[in-house]
Structure 1
C-alpha cells in the first residue's frame, strides 16, 4: 500500500452461514460502507473505524489474518453491528472486507516516467466522508491491471484568505482493451494534508471522463 503501483486487490472474508433453505433464511441487518480496518500486533484485523471516528471490535473468526501488523487499511466492508461487549466496546460481525487503494497524492515527478497519465473512465460516484474523498470509478477493461494514483498539483491562495488543494486522478490503462466495465474503489486520505490545510479550505479534484472530458469536484476541507 505504501509504494506506487498499488493495484486494487481484495481480501475476501467469507462467513459460512450454514445450510439453510433460501426462503427460511432472514438476512441480517448489515451495513456496506467505506471504512478503515485496523490490525493488531499479529497482523489480524481487530477493529473497524468509521469515518465519524467510531470504533467497532471485530468478533473473532478465521480468515482475518495475514496482514501487516499494527496497520490501518482502507476498505469497503460489509458488517453487522452487534450488542456491545461487557466492557462497553461496540462490536461487529465482519462478512466481507475488500481492501482498496488509499494512497497519499504525489507530485508528477514521483510518477513513472514523470508523466501524468489520465486515461478516461466513467464515474459512478464521488463524495467526501470524514478525512477521505471516496470514489467509485468505472474504467473500461479486459485483462490487464490498471494503475491508479492521485496527482498533487499544489495549493493555491484564494481571495477570501482560504486555500485550495488541486488534485487530479492518475489512471493508466496499461494498454488494456476497453471490453467491459470494471468497478474500482478508491479513497484519497485528506489527513495527509494536516498542517497544510485548515478548516474551510477547498479541495478540487479533476477526473478525465469518456463523455465530458475533465470534470471537477470541489469539497470543503
Structure 2
C-alpha cells in the first residue's frame, strides 16, 4: 500500500492540506500535474482511480491512501498531484478539497479573506475556490474557521436566462490572524438549475462577485 503524506490543519466543517513548494528541476516532480478530481476509494480504503474535471478516468498505479480517507467504496473530492502515464496516474500527493453544498443560512457572517482563484469545472459540476484564510496558534480549542455556501436564490434575467446567486459564509470564529493558509473548496452545481452562477465573497479589499456560465445541461 502506498501512503501519501501531507500537512493538515483542521477547521470546523473542513480539513485542508496544502503544498506550496515545487521542484523546478528535472527531478521526480519536474513534470508533475495538479488537477481537481473525484477519487474512488476501494474496499481497502485505497484510491484506485480518479476522474478529472475534464472527464478523463485515470487508474492510480499503485493505489494509495491518506489519513483522511476513512470510508471504503466511496468517493472523495481533492487535488491530485501526479505524474501522468498512459491512462494512469502515479500519485505524488492528494490534498483534500472541502465540498460546500449550497444552503440557506439565516445569520450570515462574512469575515474577510483573500481569493486566489475562482472557476467552474470544465464539466460544469463544481464551482471551485482557492482562498487564503488567516490563521495562527491558539490554546482555544473552540477557535475554528466556519465556512459554508449560502444560497441567495435564483434570478430570471432580462434575456430570459436564469442565474443562481451564492454568497460565501465565513466566520473567523476566534482564530488568530497571524499568517495565511491556502485552502480549496468546491461547491456542487449539479442540482442547481440555471444558465449561470455567481458568488459574492467579502475580501480584505471589499466584496467581490464572480460570475460564470454553466453547461447547457443545468
TM-score range, shorter chain: 0.7 to 0.9
Report the TM-score when normalising by structure 2. 0.79
Q: CA RMSD in A?
A: 2.4
Alignment partner, residue 147 of structure 1 = 146
* Conservation of the 8 A alpha-carbon contact between 1:10 and 1:99: yes
Between structures 1 and 2, the one with greater helix share? 1
CA drift of 1:43 comes to 2.5
CA drift of 1:169 comes to 0.6
CA drift of 1:136 comes to 1.0
Between structures 1 and 2, the one with greater strand share? 2
Could you list the runs of 4 or more consecutive aligned residues of structure 1 that deviate by over 3 angstroms after TM superposition?
9-12, 23-28, 61-66
Q: Cα deviations across residues 33-73 of structure 1 (Å, max 9, x unaligned)?
A: 22221212333211111111110011125545853222221
Unaligned runs of 5+ in 1: 13-22, 84-89, 109-113
- Mapping 1:1-221, distance limit 5 Å: 5-10=12-17, 25=27, 27-61=29-63, 63=65, 66-83=69-86, 90-108=87-105, 114-129=106-121, 130=123, 131-143=125-137, 144-193=143-192, 196-197=193-194, 201-211=195-205, 213-221=206-214
In 2 relative to 1, CA 117–205 (structure 1 residues): closer, same or farther, beyond 3 Å? same
Length, aligned pairs only: 191
Q: Cα deviations across residues 183-216 of structure 1 (Å, max 9, x unaligned)?
A: 11111111232xx23xxx11010000111x2110
Unaligned runs of 5+ in 2: 1-11, 20-24, 138-142
Separation in 2, partners of 1:182, 1:50? 25
Separation in 1, partners of 2:57, 2:149? 28
CA drift of 1:103 comes to 2.2
CA drift of 1:11 comes to 10
